[in-house]
């Protein structure tokens, strides 16, 4: 006959094992859930610096590209009694060092050049080929325009233009360069913020629960970033508020001045194994020099190619400059004249062939 006490003891031991296994199973489930955020299995970030490192890691993987798009702008300058629309078509090329941006613009280009038709658009390009900067512009397709060249071996102390034109472009904005800040947003915030925090709760942007970072950047203003964990940790939305003593471009805001800007991705699109903004909107409201300026931009990226064969495509050659274009070398006096001919600049002897490139 079995000992009742021993039978009871064995049953209790088996029951306790089940309880331990049940508890262990749910411990691992809880541990797994603790590494997720609302909306999907994404790592939890305990501070803003950790999240910005993830942002940096993914942006650095896609720093060679060709991006094309169009921007439609509505503007209103009440003090000047001037409002209207203009349009930009652009192409940006970048390989992590060399870059080229090309822009055609029509509509109300400025207060004196208005109602320009698309087939008569002005044109601007800026190329950094690793040795020289070529800044080329023309008023319309029939104009040969002018190219200004500066080289890295120009005399010491010569003031060079920014070599990375793409960071100030619309594609640069989509890659994390808030326009005209000069540094990518992760570097700007990590290097210059006086106050930085990651909000405890996520916030919606584009229907996705995003991480939200608040930062106060020295001389730049207050930044709020919505970072999207579903779409490769791109910035889904950013708001920047600037006030007295903050800078807008190179200008310091005075008492009573302000600048409020926002950039938001309306739709992402997959490009190969990467996500990239497809449609965005940008808004700006500035009050400076006792004048109000309001702008709204609709940005559409029509073609995105990561890691293209830049050599085969001749991405970083000045192929858009027509023969006969006037050339100015920044390191030399303007009295010494040059002309563009057969893909290079030569002394202007008054006997050159001119042509026009349709862009």
Q: Which of the two residues, 342 and 20, has the higher pLDDT score?
A: 342
- The full DSSP string for 66-85 is EEEEEEEEEEEEGGGTEEEE
Residue 118: strand, helix, or coil:
helix
Token pair 């830049």: residue: 310
Q: Which of the two residues, 196 and 157, has the higher pLDDT score?
A: 196
Most confident listed range (17-21, 140-144, 266-270):
266-270
> CA 257 to CA 301: how far, in whole Å?
33
Lowest mean pLDDT among 30-34, 68-72, 98-102, 261-265: 30-34
Comparing CA positions, the residue from 96, 120, 131, 152 lying closest to residue 318 is 131
- The full DSSP string for 154-195 is SPTT--PPPS-GGGGSHHHHHTT--TT-SS-HHHHHHHHEEE
Find out whether 275 and 268 touch, Cβ atoms under 8 Å: yes
Comparing CA positions, the residue from 267, 248, 268, 250 lying closest to residue 259 is 248
pLDDT band, very low/low/confident/very high, at 279 (cuts 50, 70, 90): very high
Q: Which residues contact 146 (CB under 8 A, 6 or more apart)?
A: 136, 137, 138, 325, 326, 327, 328
Residue 105: strand, helix, or coil:
strand
Tokens of 206: 């584009």
276 CB neighbour count, 10 Å cutoff = 22
Over residues 273-285, mean pLDDT = 96
Q: Exposed e or buried b for every residue in 329-357, given b needs 16+ CB within 10 A?
A: bbeeeeeeebbbbeeebeebeeeeeeeee
> CA 318 to CA 344: how far, in whole Å?
9
- The full DSSP string for 11-40 is HHHHHHHHHHHHHHHHHHHHHHHTT-BTTB
Q: Decide if pLDDT at 354 tops 50.
A: no
Find out whether 354 and 143 touch, Cβ atoms under 8 Å: no
What pLDDT score was predicted for residue 63? 86
What pLDDT score was predicted for residue 39? 42
Over residues 295-324, mean pLDDT = 96
> CA 86 to CA 115: how far, in whole Å?
9
Instruction: Output the CA torsion sign for 13, 16, 20, 21.
Output: positive
pLDDT band, very low/low/confident/very high, at 183 (cuts 50, 70, 90): confident
Q: Which of the two residues, 154 and 225, has the higher pLDDT score?
A: 225
What pLDDT score was predicted for residue 27? 40
**pLDDT, tens digit (0-9, with 9 covering 90-100), for 13-51:** 665 555 455 544 444 333 333 333 444 445 678 799 999
CA 56 vs. chain centroid, Å, equals 13
Q: Decide if pLDDT at 68 tops 50.
A: yes
What pLDDT score was predicted for residue 4? 52
Can you list the alpha helix ranges (DSSP code H) found in the chain? 4-33, 48-60, 170-174, 185-192, 310-313
**pLDDT, tens digit (0-9, with 9 covering 90-100), for 205-225:** 999 999 999 999 999 999 999
Q: Which of the two residues, 165 and 276, has the higher pLDDT score?
A: 276
Lowest mean pLDDT among 13-17, 64-68, 130-134, 139-143: 13-17
Q: What is the pTM of this model?
A: 0.81
> CA 297 to CA 71: how far, in whole Å?
6
Share of the chain above pLDDT 90, in %: 65
Over residues 263-292, mean pLDDT = 95
Inter-axis angle of helices 48-60 and 185-192, nearest 10: 150
- C-alpha distances in angstroms, 329 versus 100, 127, 135, 154, 349? 19, 15, 11, 10, 16
Q: Decide if pLDDT at 179 tops 70.
A: yes
Over residues 132-142, mean pLDDT = 93
Q: Decide if pLDDT at 105 tops 60.
A: yes
Over residues 167-185, mean pLDDT = 87
Lowest mean pLDDT among 11-20, 43-52, 60-69, 119-128: 11-20
Q: Decide if pLDDT at 226 tops 80.
A: yes
Comparing CA positions, the residue from 251, 234, 235, 254 lying closest to residue 243 is 254
Find out whether 116 and 107 touch, Cβ atoms under 8 Å: yes
């Amino acid at each position: 006959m079995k000992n009742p006490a021993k039978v009871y003891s064995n049953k209790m031991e088996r029951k306790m094992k089940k309880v331990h296994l049940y508890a262990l199973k749910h411990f691992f489930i809880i541990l797994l859930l603790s590494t997720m955020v609302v909306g999907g299995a994404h790592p939890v970030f305990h501070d803003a610096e950790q999240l910005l490192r993830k942002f940096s890691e993914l942006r650095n993987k896609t720093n060679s590209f060709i991006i094309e798009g169009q921007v439609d702008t509505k503007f209103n300058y009440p003090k000047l009694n001037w409002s209207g629309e203009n349009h930009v078509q652009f192409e940006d090329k970048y390989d992590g060092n060399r870059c080229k941006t090309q822009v055609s613009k029509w509509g109300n280009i400025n207060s004196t050049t208005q109602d320009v038709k698309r087939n008569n658009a002005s044109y601007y390009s800026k190329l950094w080929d690793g040795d020289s900067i070529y800044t080329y512009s023309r008023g319309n397709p029939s104009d040969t325009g002018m190219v200004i060249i500066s080289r890295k071996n120009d005399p010491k102390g010569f003031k060079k233009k920014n070599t990375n034109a793409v960071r100030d472009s619309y594609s640069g904005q989509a890659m994390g360069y808030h326009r005209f800040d000069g540094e990518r947003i992760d570097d700007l915030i990590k290097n210059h913020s006086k106050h930085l925090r990651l909000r405890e709760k996520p916030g919606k942007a584009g229907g996705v629960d995003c991480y939200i970072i608040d930062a106060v950047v020295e001389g730049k203003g207050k930044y709020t970033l919505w970072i999207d964990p579903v779409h490769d940790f791109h910035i889904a939305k950013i708001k920047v508020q600037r006030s007295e003593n903050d800078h807008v471009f190179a200008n310091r805001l005075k008492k009573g001045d302000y600048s409020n800007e926002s950039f938001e991705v309306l739709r992402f699109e997959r490009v190969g194994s990467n996500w990239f903004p497809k449609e965005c909107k940008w808004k700006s409201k500035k009050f400076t020099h006792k004048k109000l300026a309001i702008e709204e931009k609709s940005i559409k990226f029509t073609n995105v190619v990561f890691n293209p064969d830049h050599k085969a495509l001749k991405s970083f050659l000045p192929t858009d400059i027509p023969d006969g274009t006037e050339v100015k070398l920044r390191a030399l006096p303007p009295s010494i004249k040059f002309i563009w001919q057969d893909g290079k600049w030569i002394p202007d002897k008054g006997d050159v062939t001119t042509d026009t490139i349709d862009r």
